[in-house]
Amino acid sequence: MCFQVNNDLVIRPYTPVSSDEEHGFFDLVVKVYFKNAHPMFPEGGKMTQYLDNMKLGERIHVRGPNGLLVYIGPSTFAIKPNKKALPDIRKAKKVGMIAGGSGLTPMYQLIKHALKNPADTTIFSLIYANQTPNDILCKDDLELWTRQYSDRLSVYYTVDRPDDTWKGGVGFVNADMIRAHLPASGSDTLVLMCGPPPMIKFACLPSLDTLGYTEQMRFVY
């Protein structure tokens, strides 16, 4: 999605949470980052605030779909190493997922699509990291799915700053967390990651290296 402000073009990628089978529209989950809400980003999110202020009937430029991963299903992925390359076909009966904040959206779309297909027996395990419990997106849907499809989906939540009522995990994603809540490395395992770049670079990838996940067993959105 893109818009222009003060002669600057603002472009941000988003993953729809609606299905490709739903024609004529798509749904987005957008977390609005307001001004002065974070000391490191005093201006807030340009795109999210723009979307938040849009009025009914206004338009915004959209292009796509783009991306390097396509779920062919069941348990089959087409993954391109780059946009111009032909896709590699990978089979994974066990899919681990690590999402941070709004990085949940590609995981949400994939889980939703796979679970509604009774012929798809892929097992999904998600670690979902946020700063606080209030930052967790789509929790009602995730909780509903874990109850309805308990043999196919598990979700582990972890936060940096818990409140007094929090009963989930605490702290950054680490090797112990991955070992406990994601499928072990193996030829039928694939780990998908989406979140803030520091989380991926300094927490997820080193932990996967420690636990023996090869490059073929991982993908970063």
Nearest to 113 by CA among 157, 77, 147: 77
Q: Known binder of ligand: residue 34?
A: yes
How much is the CA Rg of the chain, to the nearest whole Å?
A: 18
Q: Known binder of ligand: residue 46?
A: yes
Cα dist. 23→20, 26, 42, 56, 175 in Å? 7, 8, 38, 20, 41
What is the C-alpha separation between 159 and 212, in angstroms, rounded? 25
Q: Known binder of ligand: residue 213?
A: no
Q: Known binder of ligand: residue 179?
A: no
Q: In degrees, to the nearest 5, what angle opens at C-alpha 17 toward C-alphas 191 and 11?
A: 90
Q: Known binder of ligand: residue 32?
A: no
Helices (H) and strands (E) in the chain, counts: 6, 11
Q: Known binder of ligand: residue 167?
A: no
Q: Known binder of ligand: residue 105?
A: yes
| Residue stretches of the annotated binding site for FAD | 12-14, 29, 31, 34, 46-47, 105
| Residue stretches of the annotated binding site | 12-14, 29, 31, 34, 46-47, 105
